[in-house]
Amino acid sequence: MITFLIICAVAGLLIVFTYTLGMYLECAGRPDRPTSTDDDFTVVFLVPCLNEERVVGATLTRLINLPLPDSLIVIVDDGSDDETAAVVGEFTDPRVRLLRRHLPDARLGKGEALNHAIRFLLDSEMRQGGALSHRAADRILVCLLDADGRLDEESVAVGLPCFADPRVGALQVAVRIGNRAQSILARLQDMEFVVFTHVFQRTRSRHGFAGLGGNGQFARLSALLAIGDRPWSKSLTEDLDLGVQLVLSGYRTMYVPHATVHQQGLVSLPKLVRQRTRWFQGHLQAWRLIPAVVGRASGRVAADLLHVLFSPLLIIVASFMMASLGASLVAAASSQAVREQLFQPQPIMSWYVLTFAPAFLFGPVYARVSGDHRLLAGLAYGHLFILYNLVWFAAGWWALWRMAIGRHGWHKTERLTEDGALHGPVR
């Protein structure tokens, strides 16, 4: 039994590592910057807020100061009971709009708040005389930001030319953790975003199906409307749903690594597990899209979309395998002969290679892309990153329990009180 589990574990690790390495090598050295100079778009920034008084002021200040006069900033206050609306009300820039939602219509999920904002744009701002009345829907870009999102100035200049291609429906900019220097946990979250985007997103972008996140996402308004008048779902990961729906509607989704948005990282392990549980449960909810992917996509696009959608299942299977293997090894180690075999240099080195080999890919990638560390420090973080990913096992089983008992709502994670270190650079 132990031999069988070891073979399965080794095979699984080799498949995952080979796939990851292949995705990385496919786009190694390829240019990521768009070559078009077409940036004649109007940008509408959508910022959904629920009790965001601690962070929304700095977000608004950043957006107002971007060198982008043809823009609109829409703050959606989704039933806040703090001073969020008061903070927004202090800004007198004519581009700022405050939409207030009240219970019982508020707090129905981020997707519902965003759909409300789209209806506002269509009903108020695109009518004759409104701020967007001079623009066709395919020349309006909707940029979704979290309330703690700090969009770098370069993000707009680099991102907009991608939409010169009418097939591009959306793009995602790189996400960095603004307080990564203040906590090892925040640092590892930063590494998670950097590694995922640099290893997977660049390759997927080349084929036109990069994943979309809830922060730093640009979407063509006409592409959103092609999905329907309520483009965002009620899922806990409405961003994942949107990206899949756009690809299935015939649009390309892109990733631009040279454009960046900064956000807060969590510094509490229980809160991190809780956040990842929400993401995991949202992935499970997205399984309803699998029949559409099978029926409407093909080839590389279908294979990778299915890989993304089935990733929660891989995590659950891996957790079973690890638990079974660990229990078997503990039982076997009760034998003196087995203990002597296990604690020889060769088995220990084999275990180390199988467990930590990805650190020698992820560590250098993070050191090079982030520019924060030298190679040795990157390798050290790479080893910690392997252990950090065990968070997904706890999150996965918690998400399954929530699904089993019919719990689908969620209370948002409280923001940190900000200081200058959290804002990210303005370039």
The residue ranges of every structural domain in the chain are 2-24+305-404, 32-271
pLDDT digits (tens, 9 = 90+) for 18-36: 888 788 778 776 666 666 6
The CATH label, of 3.40.50.300, 3.20.20.140, 3.40.50.150, 3.90.550.10, for the domain at 32-271 is 3.90.550.10
pLDDT of amino acid 321: 75
Spatial separation of the C-alpha atoms in residues 176 and 425, rounded to whole Å: 11
Instruction: Indicate if the alpha-carbon torsion angle 197, 199, 202, 204 is positive or negative.
Output: negative
DSSP track, 242-287 = HHHHHHHTT-EEEEEEEEEEEEPPP--HHHHHHHHHHHHHHHHHGG
The DSSP call for residue 137 is: G
Residues whose CB falls within 8 Å of the CB of residue 141, separated by 6 or more in sequence, listed in order: 41, 42, 43, 44, 160, 163, 218, 219, 220, 221
Spatial separation of the C-alpha atoms in residues 81 and 415, rounded to whole Å: 15
Over range 240-261, report the average pLDDT.
95
Q: In what order do the strands lie in the sheet with 140-144?
A: 96-101, 71-78, 42-49, 140-144, 217-220, 168-177, 252-263, 150-151
pLDDT digits (tens, 9 = 90+) for 40-70: 899 999 999 999 999 999 999 999 999 887 8
Cis status of the peptide bond prior to 34, with omega within 30 of 0:
no
Which of 151-160, 182-191, 257-266, 410-419 is least confident?
Answer: 410-419
| Contact predicate 265/189, CB 8 Å | yes
Which of 82-86, 131-135, 168-172, 336-340 is least confident?
Answer: 336-340
pLDDT of residue 242 exceeding 80, the answer is: yes
pLDDT digits (tens, 9 = 90+) for 179-199: 999 999 999 999 999 999 988
How many angstroms separate the Cα of 373 from the Cα of each of 180, 181, 249?
12, 11, 41
Backbone angles phi, psi at 79, to 5 degrees: 80, 35
Question: CA-based angle 150:89:238, to the nearest 5?
Answer: 50
